[in-house]
Structure 1
């Protein structure tokens, strides 16, 4: 018995010893790993700016040399990254009246001024929602010891809104020139001093881009099997080619297609998505169809700090296809007025305004429009767009009057009925409401109105759909089922009675 107790004790001691050794080895290996790994700034900082592309204003560098020592491209990139991150965290601070991140991008003396502004704004219940859209940078001096840089930022484009008691009291767009002194501390460039040397109100110099023709007889297009997912894994250009031939044979000359914001990669537009869009445009050109591209489908944030990401998205697509012969016009956003209640009319219209300016700066040939959901909103930004577009799903008896009133207010630009249609659905959720006969009569009457008033049009849509994604209208069957039956052709490929009135020929 005594011998057995000794064996048990010996076993317990051995296990305890092994456990202690295991813990020590783990601690030593963890310390070794830490000492041999570079510091991850995203973990050092509260803001984690480096982890996600959150702020991408357009940046150009003046490359004419500088006083002091030569600077490498790697260091220029580091300066740019830290400089833009400093702008970003400062804007977050002014928006939220918190100090998070300021210490990481500004030296002690520089952040005192920022803290004073934050304290004052917090006391007065004031906040600033701002962004910069463009920076033109020039390193004027780089010290011999590599620790100090004098940076000039010319014609920096800034947009800001000032709120007091949660109500906007100021909205301004300025072009400003700054000089910064940056110090290298802990391996990162921090702002030591800043002087705002000049500032003036931004002036929009965008030119008008007339539309190439107004005899538009078009249709909004999605492939039958992949509505709202035209560029996904089931993309098939042969199906699209066949559909375009159907559209052309029906007497139509144009289509409207949509670019889903997130699916295309948001700010970092995916190459494979651009390739698919190119195939669509090339096919449209082959079939002699003009194309209206809607740029921001499934986007609805409009937050000021999102603007730089949105602009990189539009910039990439417009720059890639601005010379494509199939392009008829750019449509900034589909029915943005539906976001007025949730996002604020001022936020949405300001976002649209800057998108128009950006697109026109890149493409100086093709017109820009906005797909408003009704005639009441169609006059918004009428002086900025080249073509006024509206949708109409309301009382057909009022269509002509609504159009004529809009035409009376907008006399110098084409007006397009960009979306209209009637569902043939008459099932359980809408018994006796819809039918193929009623849909055909609707289009017959619409075509009569459009012919008498020479209204350019793009109907909704070529096919009935088997599935409507929940992202479009949610899951409620009394909303999604009618949406499935707006087509001129059934999901099985049979032409409906309305097909006779797909064009006014």
Structure 2
């Protein structure tokens, strides 16, 4: 009957977070592989009520703590598609007040406002919109496709989430997923995105299929660019020879960021229509 403690406001949790940050940042601040400090992944997925002011206070505390130890690497916090579709509190405007780097996650297969599961404009549009809302360049740090078995066509599936609501999604044919992924990366480069990280490295072994969380979320088994046996999927082979052009940021949409979260989903859909006008 105990409630989960609020990681943003509970003093005991915050004290533990301070110790964790101090020790991790001190130990790894000079590691050659370090790019930035990420304060968390999609916090709005947690069943914790938190408002803008509490988020801002928490971010301010920990970004400053990190900077006191390591002033050479930027800080960020992973926001995702849901944070743009509704007001979860994790607005780009709020995150950008404290973090030097804005990182974004998104998936066309979950974008009910898009033009279908292979809509290769969804990710570049989210990059564009979040950049305008935050006033900073964006690193698209998570996107990709869950693929079907090798040589199998795209299959529609229905997911049942922990709160028992259902959602339609797809296990995408490998070749379709690869071509769409390459187009997305090329567009992100052309529009001036800081970069793109694919979700993820490898598929999970089939022996895990009936275990949580895969029993409810089968799509999480197969987001890899390699299969569970280490063999390369089509996307991995295509990435070896990808051609990237120069930046040519042609999109100019007036984003009213002060009013965006009055009706976030409606505004998102309106701006997406504008984004696609010349397509």
- Aligned equivalents of 1:465, 1:417: Cα separation in 2: 23
The answer (yes or no) to whether the contact 1:460–1:487 under 8 Å persists in 2 is yes
Equivalent residue for 2:199, pick from 460, 463, 480: 460
Mapping of residues 94-133 of structure 1, within 5 Å: none
Return the match for 1:385 from 80, 92, 99: 99
- Report the alpha carbon displacement of residue 408 of structure 1 after superposing the two structures with TM: 2.7
With over 3 angstroms needed to count, the CA separation of the structure-2 counterparts of 1:432 and 1:461, relative to structure 1, is closer
Give 1:312's match in structure 2, choosing from 12, 15, 19.
19
- CA RMSD for the aligned pairs? 3.0
Structure 1 unaligned spans of 5+ = 1-298
1:110-134: per-residue Cα shift (whole Å, max 9, x none)?
xxxxxxxxxxxxxxxxxxxxxxxxx
Q: 1:38 corresponds to which residue?
A: none
Of 174, 183, 186, the match for 1:436: 174
CA distance, structure 1, for counterparts of residue 190 and residue 238 of structure 2: 15
- Please report how far the alpha carbon of residue 335 of structure 1 lies from its aligned counterpart in structure 2 after TM superposition: 1.1
Distance 1:301 1:500, change over 3 A: same
Q: Deviations over 1:121-160 (max 9, x none)?
A: xxxxxxxxxxxxxxxxxxxxxxxxxxxxxxxxxxxxxxxx
1:320 positional shift: 1.1
Question: What is the CA deviation profile of residues 144-183 of structure 1, one whole-angstrom value per residue up to 9, with x for unaligned ones?
Answer: xxxxxxxxxxxxxxxxxxxxxxxxxxxxxxxxxxxxxxxx
Contact 1:378 1:390 in 2 (8 A): no
Q: Tell me, which stretches of 5 or more residues in structure 2 are unaligned?
A: 85-90, 112-118, 149-153, 159-168, 244-279
Range with greater deviation from structure 2 (378-387 or 431-440): 431-440
CA distance in 2, matches of 1:315, 1:380: 24
| Paired residues of 2:146 and 2:171 also in contact (CA < 8 A) | no
Preserved contact between residue 201 and residue 226 of structure 2 (Cα < 8 Å)? yes
Summarize the alignment of residues 68-217 of structure 1 with structure 2, pairs less than 5 Å apart: none
Alpha-carbon contact 2:95-2:102 (below 8 Å) kept: no
Q: Does the 8 A contact of 1:353 with 1:381 survive in 2?
A: no
Secondary structure at the counterpart of residue 343 of structure 1: coil
Q: CA deviation at 1:476?
A: 5.7
2-structure distance, mates of 1:496, 1:367: 33
TM-score, with structure 1 as normaliser: 0.36
Q: What residue is the counterpart of 1:486 in the other structure?
A: 223
The TM-score with structure 2 as length reference comes to: 0.63
Residue 48 of structure 2: aligned partner: 342
Instruction: Using the TM superposition, give the Cα deviation of residue 333 of structure 1 relative to its aligned residue in structure 2, in angstroms.
Output: 0.7
- The aligned counterpart of 1:416 is 139
Match in the other structure for 1:451: 189
Q: Are 1:387 and 1:414, in contact at CA under 8 Å, matched by a contact in 2?
A: yes
User: Could you tell me whether the CA contact under 8 Å between 1:429 and 1:477 is conserved in 2?
Assistant: no
Q: Does 1:400 align with 2:129?
A: no
- Structure 1 pair 493–342 and aligned structure 2 pair: CA distance change class (3 A): same
Deviation at 1:482, TM superposition (A): 0.9
Shift of 1:359: 0.8
Aligned equivalents of 1:478, 1:436: Cα separation in 2: 22
Query: What's the offset of the Cα at 1:349?
Result: 4.3
What per-residue deviation string (whole Å, max 9, x for no partner) do you get for residues 30-60 of structure 1?
A: xxxxxxxxxxxxxxxxxxxxxxxxxxxxxxx
Deviating 4+ runs (over 4 angstroms): 346-349, 426-433, 467-470
Give the drift of 1:447.
Answer: 2.0
Instruction: Verify the 8 A CA contact 2:104 2:127 in the aligned structure 1.
Output: no
Q: Which has the larger radius of gyration?
A: 1
Greater share of residues in strand: 1
* 1:2-52, Cα deviation, whole Å (9 max, x unpaired): xxxxxxxxxxxxxxxxxxxxxxxxxxxxxxxxxxxxxxxxxxxxxxxxxxx
Note the alpha carbon deviations across 1:183-231, whole angstroms, 9 max, x for none.
Answer: xxxxxxxxxxxxxxxxxxxxxxxxxxxxxxxxxxxxxxxxxxxxxxxxx
Q: CA deviation at 1:355?
A: 1.4
Higher relative contact order (CA 8 A, sep 6+): 2
1:55-76, Cα deviation, whole Å (9 max, x unpaired):
xxxxxxxxxxxxxxxxxxxxxx
Separation of aligned partners in 2, 1:357 and 1:498: 39
Query: Is residue 464–residue 486 contact of structure 1 (8 Å, CA) maintained in 2?
Result: yes
Q: Which residue of 2 aligns with 1:71?
A: none
Q: Secondary structure at the match of 2:93?
A: coil
What secondary structure is seen at the aligned counterpart in 2 of 1:342? coil
Closer, same or farther in 2 for the Cα pair 1:468/1:461, shift >3 Å? farther
Q: Please report how far the alpha carbon of residue 491 of structure 1 lies from its aligned counterpart in structure 2 after TM superposition.
A: 0.6
CA distance in 2, matches of 1:409, 1:492: 41
Q: Partner of 2:60 in structure 1?
A: 353
